[in-house]
C-alpha cells in the first residue's frame, strides 16, 4: 500500500515530540471530544520499554513536510498481544492511515519472529466517530473482539460515605511497606485471573511498570475481618479533565458480593473530591464476568462513551498461518 504522491515517511525522534503531539491532539479531539495526550506522554511512548522508535514507529509527512500521521506499537510488558496506534490529522492525514497500518502490521510480524513466536495478536481501538478507521481495519482483516465502556460521575453532589459493611475496612496502601505492595499485587493478580485478557506479571515487573507513583493516597486496600480482600489503583490519566480515575478495582473471588468493591470506589471518590476533582471515572471491559455494570451504577457512575477493540492474528515473518495467536 503506497502513500499519495509527494508524501513521505520517516522514523520519529525526540525532536518530533511537539509535531507528534499536535497530530495526536487533533486525532483525540475528533475521536473523544478533547485532547488526551501531553508532551510527556509522547516522550514516554518514544522511550518505552520493548519499543524502538527506529524500528517500531513511523511518521507521515505531507508535501509541505508537515507531520500529519504517527504510527506506533505499544506493549508495555513485552509479553502477550501488541497494540497498534495510528494517529492522523483528521483533516489532512486520512490518506496515510491505511499505509501506516500496513507498515505496523509488517513490523508486528517481525516482532513475533524476534520473540520466537509463530504469531502475535494485534489490537486496535476504535471510538464512535472513527468510521473510516473501522473500515480500514476491516479491510486489513480485523474483527471485533470486545467493547469497553467509559463511565463517569460528578463529584459536586457526592453523598457522605455510608457505613461500611460488617467486617469491612478500607485504608490507603502503605507504599513504604514492600509486604503491603506485594499483597496489593497478589490481590490484583488473583482477582483478574478469571478474566479473558489478563496477562500475569511477577511482582518485580509489576512494580517496575507502575514506576514512581505521585499519589499513593489514592490507592486503597480493603480488608474483611482483617484479611486483605480488595485493592483499588488510581491513575492520573484524566487529571487534565479535572477527573480522578480508577485504573483497576480488584476483589478476591471469596469476598465478592459483600460490598467490598463499592466500599473501595466510594473511598476513592471521597479522596478525589477532597483534592478538588470535578468527577470520577473508570473504564469497563464488557467481557469481564466479574465486574457487572450494576456495581458501578450503584455508586453513581454512568456510561459516557464506548470504545471497540478490533483484533487480528499476525503470523510471524517467515511463518505460515497459525491456528492460534498469542
Rounded Cα–Cα distance for residues 126 and 134 (Å): 6
Answer whether 11's CB lies under 8 Å from 53's CB. Answer: yes
- According to DSSP, the β-strands at 243-251 and 279-285 are parallel
Answer whether 152's CB lies under 8 Å from 301's CB. Answer: yes
Rounded Cα–Cα distance for residues 62 and 87 (Å): 14
pLDDT at 200: 83
Number of H helices, E strands in the chain: 9, 12
Describe the strand order of the beta sheet including 67-74 as a list of residue ranges.
8-10, 57-61, 67-74, 82-88, 119-127, 302-315, 143-154, 279-285, 243-251, 227-235, 220-224, 168-172
Look at residue 13 and give its three-state secondary structure: coil
pLDDT at 287: 77
Closest CA to 45 of 11, 73, 26, 68: 73
Query: In sequence order, what are the residues at sequence separation of 6 or more whose Cβ sits closer than 8 angstroms to the Cβ of residue 119?
Result: 112, 313, 314, 315, 316, 319, 321, 322, 324, 325, 326
- Domains of the chain by range and CATH? 8-146+308-315 (3.40.630.30), 157-277 (3.40.630.30)
Q: Where are the beta strands (DSSP E) in the chain?
A: 8-10, 57-61, 67-74, 82-88, 119-127, 143-154, 168-172, 220-224, 227-235, 243-251, 279-285, 302-315
Rounded Cα–Cα distance for residues 279 and 39 (Å): 24
Report residue 159 as a C-alpha cell.
453523598
pTM, two decimal places:
0.77
Look at residue 185 and give its three-state secondary structure: helix
pLDDT at 209: 84
Closest CA to 285 of 127, 148, 125: 148
Rounded to 5 degrees, φ, ψ at 200 are -60, 140
Q: How far is CA 219 from CA 184, 234, 247, 288, 307, in A?
A: 10, 6, 10, 22, 26
Rounded Cα–Cα distance for residues 112 and 314 (Å): 8
Rounded Cα–Cα distance for residues 233 and 250 (Å): 9
Q: How far is CA 153 from CA 103, 240, 245, 292, in A?
A: 40, 16, 11, 17
Counting as low any pLDDT under 50, the low residues of the chain are 320-326
pLDDT at 290: 65
Amino acid at each position: 500500500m503506497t502513500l499519495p504522491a509527494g508524501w513521505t515517511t520517516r522514523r520519529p525522534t525526540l525532536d518530533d515530540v511537539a509535531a507528534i503531539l499536535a497530530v495526536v491532539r487533533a486525532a483525540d479531539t475528533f475521536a473523544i471530544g478533547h485532547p488526551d495526550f501531553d508532551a510527556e506522554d509522547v516522550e514516554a511512548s518514544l522511550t518505552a520499554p520493548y519499543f524502538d522508535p527506529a524500528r517500531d514507529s513511523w511518521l507521515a509527512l505531507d508535501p509541505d513536510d508537515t507531520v500529519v500521521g504517527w504510527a506506533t506499537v505499544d506493549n508495555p510488558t513485552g509479553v502477550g498481544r501488541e497494540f497498534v496506534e495510528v494517529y492522523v490529522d483528521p483533516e489532512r492525514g486520512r490518506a496515510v492511515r491505511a499505509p501506516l497500518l500496513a507498515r505496523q502490521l509488517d513490523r508486528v510480524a517481525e516482532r513475533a519472529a524476534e520473540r520466537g513466536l509463530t504469531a502475535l495478536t494485534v489490537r486496535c481501538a476504535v471510538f464512535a466517530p472513527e468510521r473510516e478507521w473501522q473500515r480500514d481495519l476491516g479491510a486489513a482483516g480485523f474483527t471485533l473482539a470486545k467493547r469497553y465502556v467509559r463511565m463517569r460521575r460528578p463529584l459536586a453532589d457526592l453523598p457522605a460515605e455510608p457505613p461500611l459493611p460488617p467486617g469491612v475496612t478500607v485504608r490507603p496502601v502503605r507504599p513504604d511497606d514492600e509486604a503491603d505492595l506485594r499483597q496489593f499485587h497478589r490481590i490484583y493478580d488473583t482477582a483478574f485471573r478469571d478474566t479473558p485478557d489478563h496477562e500475569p506479571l511477577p511482582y518485580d515487573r509489576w512494580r517496575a511498570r507502575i514506576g514512581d507513583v505521585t499519589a499513593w493516597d489514592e490507592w486503597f486496600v480493603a480488608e474483611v475481618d482483617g484479611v486483605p480482600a480488595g485493592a483499588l489503583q488510581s491513575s492520573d490519566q484524566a487529571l487534565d479533565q479535572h477527573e480522578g480515575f480508577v485504573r483497576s478495582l480488584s476483589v478476591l473471588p471469596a469476598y465478592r458480593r459483600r460490598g467490598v468493591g463499592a466500599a473501595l470506589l466510594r473511598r476513592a471518590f471521597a479522596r478525589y473530591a477532597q483534592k478538588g476533582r470535578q468527577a470520577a471515572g473508570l473504564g469497563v471491559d464488557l467481557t469481564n464476568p466479574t465486574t457487572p455494570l450494576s456495581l458501578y451504577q450503584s455508586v453513581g457512575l454512568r456510561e459516557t462513551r464506548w470504545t471497540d477493540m478490533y483484533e487480528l492474528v499476525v503470523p510471524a515473518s517467515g511463518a505460515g498461518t497459525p491456528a492460534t495467536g498469542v
